Structure 1
Amino acid sequence: MYEQQMHGNDSTIITSIEQQKRNRSRYNIYINHEFSFAVHEDILVKYRLMKGREINPEEIKEVLIAEERNRAMQYALRFLSYRPRTATEVSEHLQRKGFLREDIDGIISYLQDKKYLDDQSYALQWVEERKRLKPRGRSLLRMELIQRGIDDHLADQALEDQLTGQEEREMIENWIYKKCSQKKFPNLYEMKKRIVPFLQRKGFPLDLILEVVHTVGEDFLE
């Protein structure tokens, strides 16, 4: 592509640089009076791209490689700006955008070093928020974490640190009172038919569900 822009032994010179109107952080680079490529302002500064500078094909190639990595980084940072993500989520997002595996791996490592990505912290925060906003049992929480790319060990550690058996028991009790408060049952069997499948879908263990039902069940009998 760039070889075609050279004419014999003529110098390859940056003849113009224009700031893009729709994205003020990007600049169009013109070589020998023809548009050649566009770069982010960080790349413009890093490689000292300026009007009148001579630039050879190898330098252009290096600039374009750096620009592509920078573009991937901008996508990653924008993706992270909305809410915390796991390393897997960021990696898959960049893959969908078509970036190279080696560039993605480098970006993930950089973001982890800077603590912009921290799967351990993410897992702890996820469990804590779920307990507060969408109560559910250990098995469902573990599945949610793994689906988001959290390592099995980190998922188990987060659950161990953030969710006690007593908290699960209280969640089950709260769900029972929420789902059954407007209804009376003739016996525990009928109550179990209504509430047990629901609580199992929420990820709570059957033995703990039955234990809590037997403890509070009389409050809901006719």
Structure 2
Amino acid sequence: MKKDNDKLPEITMIQVQKRRKDRFNIYVDGEYAFPVSEAVLIKTGLHKGMTLTKERQEAIEHENNAYLAYTIAVDYLSYGLRSEKEVRQKLLENEIEMPHIHATLERLRDQKYIDDQIYGESYTRTAANINRKGPRQIEQELKRKGLDEEIIQLSLEQYPEEQQLENAAALAEKSLNKQTRTSSKDAKMKVRMHLQQKGYDKDVITKVFENLDSEKSEEDELFALRVQGEKVWRRYARKAEGRELEQKVKSNLYQKGFPGELINEYIEEKKQEMDVE
């Protein structure tokens, strides 16, 4: 039997989704039409047998998409503070249309659920207190989070120089203790590079080194030299011997920052060792 042209489309079935019990599929005139959340279903009073104009259906779909965008954002925020850029990216990943993204972000700003100033200050304190990151590293990370320059600089005020010095000194001490197999010169260079990579300014690093006991005892320096020397000696001994071998080993160890007198002492040890063999 043919339908009257004037008859409005009618909801013929409302079916709960298999994977999301809080979402429903709406069927109109026996065919799938659109999904809605439980909240929107209740709010709009959708029910089987209800007729829908095209305008009414579009309004319901619009409201549902707006609700979906908001719930995705709030769920994302429930795990911790986020920057506005991060929330926007999350919504884009969920294929939310731009008008709903803009509306959601505005709503979240009004509710103080997102605030880049608060986010930046909190991020700075956490990075400083927990991870001991330097200000330059934090600044770069906040830029990637989408914060503007003014907010970033205000956020970095949460990280006073005194704390920077304390953190940098602790990192330097920890890094230096790992350099047992390198020369004092190389160890200091590696510590300095480590602090630079962590985002500390040259002025802070200079002040840290003024109070850092970075010079090894002669015994520790000789231990490190012997460790490096054995590696170098084995490598060059494959293609060289005698005076040529000694010169290549000396040159390499000197480049690694070891003092000449200790290098000579090590070479004499190796020569005596070889004479015994």
Same fold (TM over 0.5): yes
Q: What is the Cα deviation at residue 182 of structure 1?
A: 5.1
**Alpha-carbon distance in 1 for matches of 2:8, 2:203:** 79
**Alpha-carbon distance in 2 for matches of 1:147, 1:57:** 43
Amino acid at match of 1:150: L
Amino acid at match of 2:71: Q
Q: What is the Cα deviation at residue 76 of structure 1?
A: 1.8
User: Residues 32 and 203 (structure 1 numbering): CA distance in 2 closer, same or farther, change over 3 Å?
Assistant: same
- For CA contacts below 8 A with separation 6 or more, give which structure has more relative contact order: 1
Match of 2:112 among 109, 112, 115: 115
Match of 1:35 among 26, 32, 37: 32
Q: Does 1:172 align with 2:146?
A: no
**Alpha-carbon distance in 2 for matches of 1:98, 1:114:** 23
Answer with 1 or 2: which has the greater Rg. 2
Q: What is the Cα deviation at residue 112 of structure 1?
A: 1.3
Per the alignment, residue 3 of structure 1 pairs with none
For structure 1, which runs of at least 5 residues remain unmatched after alignment?
A: 1-5
User: Residues 61 and 211 (structure 1 numbering): CA distance in 2 closer, same or farther, change over 3 Å?
Assistant: same
Query: What does the per-residue CA deviation read over 1:89-109, in whole Å, with 9 as the maximum and x for residues that have no partner?
Result: 111222233322221111001
User: Residues 24 and 182 (structure 1 numbering): CA distance in 2 closer, same or farther, change over 3 Å?
Assistant: closer
Match of 1:221 among 213, 216, 224: 216
Q: What is the Cα deviation at residue 122 of structure 1?
A: 1.2
**Alpha-carbon distance in 1 for matches of 2:4, 2:160:** 73
Matched residue SS, 1:82? coil
**Alpha-carbon distance in 1 for matches of 2:153, 2:212:** 30
Per the alignment, residue 85 of structure 1 pairs with 82
Amino acid at match of 1:130: A
User: Residues 221 and 194 (structure 1 numbering): CA distance in 2 closer, same or farther, change over 3 Å?
Assistant: same
Per the alignment, residue 52 of structure 1 pairs with 49
Query: What does the per-residue CA deviation read over 1:39-81, in whole Å, with 9 as the maximum and x for residues that have no partner?
Result: 1112112222122222111101111122222222232223223
User: Residues 68 and 186 (structure 1 numbering): CA distance in 2 closer, same or farther, change over 3 Å?
Assistant: closer
Amino acid at match of 1:10: K
**Alpha-carbon distance in 2 for matches of 1:47, 1:169:** 60
For structure 2, which runs of at least 5 residues remain unmatched after alignment?
A: 218-277
Q: What is the Cα deviation at residue 118 of structure 1?
A: 1.7
**Alpha-carbon distance in 2 for matches of 1:191, 1:31:** 74
4+ residue segments displaced more than 6 Å: none
Q: What is the Cα deviation at residue 140 of structure 1?
A: 1.0
Question: Aligned Cα RMSD in Å?
Answer: 2.1
Per the alignment, residue 137 of structure 1 pairs with 134
**Alpha-carbon distance in 2 for matches of 1:182, 1:27:** 59
Give the structure-1-normalised TM-score.
0.87
Amino acid at match of 2:112: K
Q: Does 1:204 align with 2:209?
A: no
Per the alignment, residue 75 of structure 1 pairs with 72
Per the alignment, residue 193 of structure 1 pairs with 189
Give the structure-2-normalised TM-score.
0.71
Q: Does the Cα contact within 8 Å between 2:179 and 2:187 map onto a contact in 1?
A: no
Amino acid at match of 2:59: E
User: Residues 7 and 24 (structure 1 numbering): CA distance in 2 closer, same or farther, change over 3 Å?
Assistant: farther
Q: Does the Cα contact within 8 Å between 2:83 and 2:119 map onto a contact in 1?
A: yes
Q: What is the Cα deviation at residue 183 of structure 1?
A: 4.8
**Alpha-carbon distance in 2 for matches of 1:186, 1:100:** 59
Match of 2:21 among 1, 24, 37: 24
